[in-house]
Amino acid sequence: MRSTKLLFGVLLVLGCGALSVAQMQSPPAAKTPGEALVAIISIGEKEFTGAAEAMPEDKYSFAPSNGEFKGVRTFAQQVKHVAAVNYIFAASILGEKPPIDVGGENGPDSVKSKAEILKFLKDSFAYLTKALNSITEKNQLEQVTVFGEMKMARASVGAFSTAHPFDHYGQMVEYLRMNGIVPPASRQQNQ
């Protein structure tokens, strides 16, 4: 009886381990440099957008004030900044003007409500994904212009565009927690 319970316990542990590994399947292998970058930005988009959706609209104007926080962006300004820069990076990668007036690095003044900001954000990630998908082995090292004057390899702009949202995501997580909100990505780990 004791060996049966032990065997059952071992099988249960092994079964749970196999289930965990099965749930963590890797995405398909990238066939182009652009696909490799899209895999990264997809993670960033999910976490960043989730954080933006988690903050109630009445807290979008929140910026920390206790301590050394003079002049920092509000939560809304963080989201608009990332969206605007997504458009700027994408347009540079594609060698075209952004499809909308992004209002510089801080986004357009006309985009104010949470719904408008979220739409601006989601549309920016769609445009960035399109741009990243255009990066190939053949064009990845071509020089493009970003921010009107800086020359960089197309793949370098693509790589930086995947890192930039994560910088601001960290700040947004702090803003959420300062308002008693657990970020969605952290909620998933606690379940």
Residue 2 maps to a domain: no
pLDDT for the residue 153: 97
Backbone angles phi, psi at 150, to 5 degrees: -85, 130
Residue 14 maps to a domain: no
Q: Are residues 7 and 1 in contact, defined by beta-carbon separation less than 8 angstroms?
A: no
| Total structural domains within the chain | 1
Q: Are residues 111 and 80 in contact, defined by beta-carbon separation less than 8 angstroms?
A: yes
CATH classification of the domain holding 99: 1.20.120.450
pLDDT for the residue 13: 40
Task: Encode pLDDT of 24-76 as tens digits.
Answer: 566 678 899 999 999 999 999 999 999 999 999 999 999 998 878 888 999 99
Please, which pLDDT band fits residue 185 given cuts at 50, 70 and 90? confident
pLDDT for the residue 186: 84
Least reliable range by pLDDT among 22-26, 48-52, 82-86, 148-152:
22-26
Residue 180 maps to a domain: yes
Task: Encode pLDDT of 86-140 as tens digits.
Answer: 999 999 999 999 999 999 999 999 999 999 999 999 999 999 999 999 999 999 9
Domain that holds residue 57: 30-185
Residue 5 maps to a domain: no
- pTM for the model: 0.83
Tokens of 149: 């004057």
Residue 163 maps to a domain: yes
pLDDT for the residue 28: 74
Residue 67 maps to a domain: yes
Residue 190 maps to a domain: no
Query: Stretch 6-14: mean pLDDT, rounded?
Result: 37
Residue 4 maps to a domain: no
pLDDT for the residue 148: 85
Return the sign of the alpha-carbon dihedral for residues 97, 112, 85, 72: positive
Task: Encode pLDDT of 155-172 as tens digits.
Answer: 999 999 999 999 999 999
